[in-house]
């Protein structure tokens, strides 16, 4: 059985580098742990899924920033009313 990341390590890394940094670290970890047994098709599928996940995280990041900006404006409108 391949080694697994400990939950404490994962949470401390996530707190230090944020979600995108943790994603990069996880990708590097997966790539270093993959066995080179000729399963390049499976590797390409994983890489494609990780690329899609990276794009999704980027979109979520943008959405959260937009939502935060809208909330701040909304609260300021209430404060000024």
Q: Is 3 helix (H, G, I), strand (E, B) or coil?
A: coil
> For residue 42, is it within any domain?
yes
**CA-CA-CA-CA torsion sign (63, 64, 66, 70):** positive
Q: Is residue 76 part of a domain?
A: yes
Range(s) of the domain holding residue 27: 7-80
d(C-alpha 52, C-alpha 60), whole Å: 12
The alpha carbon torsion through 7, 28, 51, 14 (nearest 10 deg) reads 30
> Within a domain: residue 57?
yes
Q: Quick check: is 1 in a domain?
A: no
Q: Is residue 2 part of a domain?
A: no
Distance, CA of 4 to CA of 2 (rounded, Å): 6
Residue 21 counted as domain residue: yes
Number of compact structural domains in the chain: 1
In a structure prediction context, what are the per-residue pLDDT tens digits for the chain, which is 81 residues long? Answer: 445 666 777 677 667 767 777 777 777 777 777 655 556 777 888 888 888 888 888 889 899 999 999 999 999 998 987
Look at the pTM and tell me if it is higher than 0.85. Answer: no
């Amino acid at each position: 059985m391949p080694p697994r990341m400990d939950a404490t390590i994962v949470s401390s890394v996530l707190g230090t580098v944020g979600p995108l940094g943790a994603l990069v670290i996880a990708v590097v970890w997966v790539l270093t742990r993959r066995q080179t047994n000729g399963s390049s098709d499976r590797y390409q599928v994983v890489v494609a899924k990780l690329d899609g996940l990276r794009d999704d995280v980027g979109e979520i990041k943008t959405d959260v920033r937009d939502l935060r900006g809208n909330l701040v404006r909304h609260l300021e409108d209430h404060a000024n009313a």
